[in-house]
Amino acid sequence: MGQDAAWGAAPAERADAARNRLHLLATARQMLAEQGADRLTMDALAERAGLGKGTVFRRFGTRAGIFRALLDDDEQVFQQQVLSGPPPLGPGAPPVDRLIAYGWARAVFLIERRDMARAALDGSQPVPTGPRTPMSHVHIRMLLGQLDLGGADLGMLVVQLAGALDGPVLLYLSSDELASTPEGVAARIGQAWQDLVERCF
């Protein structure tokens, strides 16, 4: 077997493509920090990275795709802490405690990256919507799997709980609310999540 994970896996990214992808992500992150999400245009990104616009679009498909890639990147680091950090977030604590800790951590994570996360939304679906299950879902499902839920629809429950965690930041809370007291909002989300979970499980 080669490095490909499974049959039908991606046919191995070419070296220059990988280099450019990394370079574009780094440039995008820099521009995001300097100027904010709404000022980040594809043309500007391409120019600042010293690459063609076509390259940017082939890599990320969509403007939202760039922010999604950035977010995925951060989520991977986050997931490391979740999987290998100390309890109760990491392994070793009872599932319910881990679920609660996960909610607190995710709230902080998302609020810190609220601009990125919102810019990653994309009402259209044609190509950009990846069939990849978010890591967040995988983790919640894993924890719920260790609980006794009767005959509940685990798959849908996972998605609903993820919605309870992400919905406030992604959909409902205004940017003003999020910006004026980020830590306060994160704490409220975490606490409300804890109340909800303790009440349910």
Binding site for its own copies (CB under 8 A): 38, 64, 118-126, 129, 131, 134, 137, 150, 152-153, 155-157, 159-168, 170-175, 188-189, 191-193, 195-196, 199-201
The reply to whether 63 sits near DNA by the rule CB under 7 A is yes
Instruction: Tell me the Cα Rg of the chain.
Output: 19
Minimum Å gap between C-beta 121 and its own copies is 5
Say how far residue 192 (Cα) sits from the centre of its chain.
Answer: 21
Q: Please enumerate in sequence order all residues whose Cβ is within 8 A of that of 14, keeping only pairs 6 or more positions apart, or say none.
A: none
Nearer to its own copies among residue 93 and residue 196 (C-beta)? 196
The reply to whether 110 sits near DNA by the rule CB under 7 A is no
The reply to whether 17 sits near DNA by the rule CB under 7 A is yes
d(CA 117, CA 92): 30
The reply to whether 55 sits near DNA by the rule CB under 7 A is yes
Dmax (CA) for the chain in angstroms is 56
The reply to whether 53 sits near DNA by the rule CB under 7 A is yes
The reply to whether 16 sits near DNA by the rule CB under 7 A is yes
Minimum Å gap between C-beta 160 and its own copies is 4
The reply to whether 43 sits near DNA by the rule CB under 7 A is yes
The torsion angle over the Cα atoms of residues 29, 31, 34 and 36, rounded to 10 degrees, is: -90
Report the partner that residue 172 touches, choosing among DNA, its own copies, none (CB closer than 5 to 8 A by kind): its own copies
CA distances (Å), 130 to each of 44, 69, 169, in order? 26, 11, 21
Count the Cβ atoms, other than its own, within 10 Å of residue 152: 11
Nearer to its own copies among residue 88 and residue 168 (C-beta)? 168
DSSP-assigned states of every residue in 104-165: HHHHHHHHHTHHHHHHT--S--TTT---PPPHHHHHHHHHHHTS--TT--HHHHHHHHHHHH
Report the partner that residue 134 touches, choosing among its own copies, DNA, none (CB closer than 5 to 8 A by kind): its own copies
Instruction: Name the site residues for DNA (rule: CB under 7 A).
Output: 11-17, 20, 40-43, 51-55, 57-59, 61-64, 124, 127
